Structure 1
Amino acid sequence: MRAPGLPGSGPYDDPTLGLGLPEPEGVARVESWSRPAGQDGRSADGYGEMIARLRGFLDYVAAARLDAGTVAALSDDLGAWSERLADLAVSEREQVFGHRDDMPGRGQTMAPALRVHEADRFSVRGTVRFGRYFLGGNGAVHGGAVPLLFDEVLGRLSGSGGRSRARTAYLHTDYRSITPIGAELDVHGWFVSEEGRKRVLRAEIRHNGVLCAEAEGLFVTLKPGQP
């Protein structure tokens, strides 16, 4: 008997494992999680579309078996773009990547983009898809990518609703079943307690109701002047 979510068990027989899935749409304003980008969810400056293409590019690079000519051409193109972007580098405070609250995932590609459905100061619910770029093997998300998503979700929730910034003190993750690539997954994060500078939060990822992974994180607020 095959484990759920592995190739040969039905929905994951597709060898491309979720390649070409549509990007998450823009989300309505939900507390401090997002600001509307526009009625169609697109960013006026095109940044969201560029990030969506970058996510897709990473998925296809991960899935492709490249010949020597393609490797050389791609390497040259990436080198040319690196040189072009080097002249546009700015300080961290001016950085756009990962700082766009008007689009899913804050406009970054380090972690898959969470599409928020409902949120307040104490909890958040949404959906996410891990693309081929996050494949660990045999149709499953890489084990290191799961806590990355948890840290993204809980870190943002910890600082939502006008709260002061905090750093992750620990993040404990338990893997309960396969987290499949390319599938729509339900994500839920919530506050457990807050005392002094310490905030304890928990989160879980489910696929069709089955618990894939759960985590508990401790976040400690920064003292004045702490980076």
Structure 2
Amino acid sequence: MRTPGLPGNSRSDNPRLGLGITEPERLPEIESWSRPAGPGGESADGYGEMIARLRGFLDYVAAARLDPSTVAALSDDLGAWCERLADAAVPEREQVFGHRDDMPGRGQTMAPALRVREADRFSVRGTVRFGRYFLGGNGAVHGGAIPLLFDEVLGRLSGSAGRTRARTAYLHTDYRSITPIGAELDVHGWFVSEEGRKRVLRAEIRHDGVLCAEAEGLFIVLNPGQP
């Protein structure tokens, strides 16, 4: 049976949709998008493997219908880990989360990790899969998760190749069709123009050639001393 809004795709009826997505491996170094990791491409300190498990954990929590005893046990475990991690807190400039250029997604779980296939000073192409954690409903990615991915991709491209850091001034997103959970999606981001402190970039997400969403962002280069 086909699901309304997902022509030709019955996978949204699968309760395991978007679960067990394999963390993308680190590809050979691509200019401006990666730095060498440990031998064989893995993170020598195990951080990448921990983030991959955290992504999987969030997907399974989102998919689970838990009984009260499991909820209580999980809550206790999470509370214990919060207490344990509290003593490891560091200032922003020293944190690891989201600052690891040697691994997909920079070692963060806010947005799905982009697997970069091609990149240069002005464009990037890759693939991404949204796990169950990002489900909005009926097999579709939550509408708020899509701009988050666009901002991650375009923001990073804006500051790549030795460019001065910039901040997002606006990010306009158009939703063209359903973005499916669990499917491999093609992502393309590119520079449109750069004038003074203003950088305009665009990006799109496609599934099997169909345009799912597109965005345009304006990024403003920070002045010296700006946070």
TM-score range, shorter chain: over 0.9
Structure 1 stretches of 4+ with a deviation exceeding 6 A read: none
Q: Residue in 2 aligned with 1:29?
A: 29
Q: Answer whether contact 1:97 1:107 (CA < 8 A) is retained.
A: yes
Alpha-carbon shift at residue 11 of structure 1 (Å): 3.9
Tell me if structure 2 keeps the 8 A contact 1:3–1:9. Answer: no
Q: How far off is 1:37 after superposition? A: 1.8
The match for 1:136 is 136
CA displacement, residues 72-126 of structure 1 (integer Å, 9 cap, x when unaligned): 0000000000000000000111000000000000000000000000101100000
Cα gap change, 1:127 to 1:39, in 2 (>3 Å): farther
CA distance in 1, matches of 2:177, 2:4: 9
* Cα RMSD (Å): 1.4
**Aligned-pair CA distance for 1:174:** 0.2
Q: 1:53 to 1:218 in 2, by over 3 A?
A: same
After superposition, the Cα gap between the structure-2 partners of 1:39 and 1:12, relative to the gap in structure 1 and judged at 3 Å, is farther
Aligned to 1:52: 52
Corresponding residue for residue 217 of structure 1: 217
Matching of residues 98-177 of structure 1 within 5 Å: 98-177=98-177
Residue 78 (structure 2) pairs with residue 88 (structure 1): no
Letter in 1 for 2:31: E
- Corresponding residue number in structure 1 for 2:67: 67
2:206 is the counterpart of 1:185: no
Deviations 1:146-197 (A, max 9, x none): 0000000000000000000000000000000000000000000000000000
Return the offset for 1:39. 5.1
**CA displacement at 1:131 relative to structure 2:** 0.3
Is the CA contact 1:175–1:212 (under 8 Å) kept in the aligned structure 2? yes
Give, in angstroms, the shift of residue 35 of structure 1: 1.3
Q: Which residue of 1 aligns with 2:6?
A: 5
Within 2, Cα distance between the matches of 1:116 and 1:39? 20
- Distance, in Å, in 2 between the alignment partners of 1:41 and 1:132 is 27
* 8 Å CA contact retained: 1:139, 1:180: yes
Letter in structure 1 aligned against 2:43: S
TM-score of the aligned structures, taking structure 2 as reference length = 0.96
In structure 1, what is the equivalent of residue 41 of structure 2? 41
Q: 1:2, 1:71 → 2: CA distance?
A: 31
The SS at the match of 2:219 is strand
Partner secondary structure for residue 213 of structure 2: strand
Note the C-alpha offset of 1:21: 1.9
Provide the TM-score with structure 1 as the length reference.
0.96
User: Cα offset for 1:56?
Assistant: 0.2
In structure 2, runs of 5+ residues without a counterpart are: none
Residue 198 of structure 1 contacts residue 221 of structure 1 at CA under 8 Å; is this kept in 2? yes
Looking at structure 2, the residues matched to 72 and 137 of structure 1 have their Cα atoms a distance apart, in angstroms, of: 26
Task: Extract unaligned runs of 5+ from structure 1.
Answer: none
Does 22-31 or 53-62 show the bigger shift?
22-31
Paired with 2:100 and 2:14, the residues of 1 have a C-alpha distance of 33
Deviation at residue 12 of structure 1 after TM alignment: 3.6
Matching residue's letter, 1:5: L
- d(CA) in 1 for partners of 2:74, 2:160: 40
| Distance in 2 (alpha carbons) for counterparts of 1:192 and 1:9 | 34
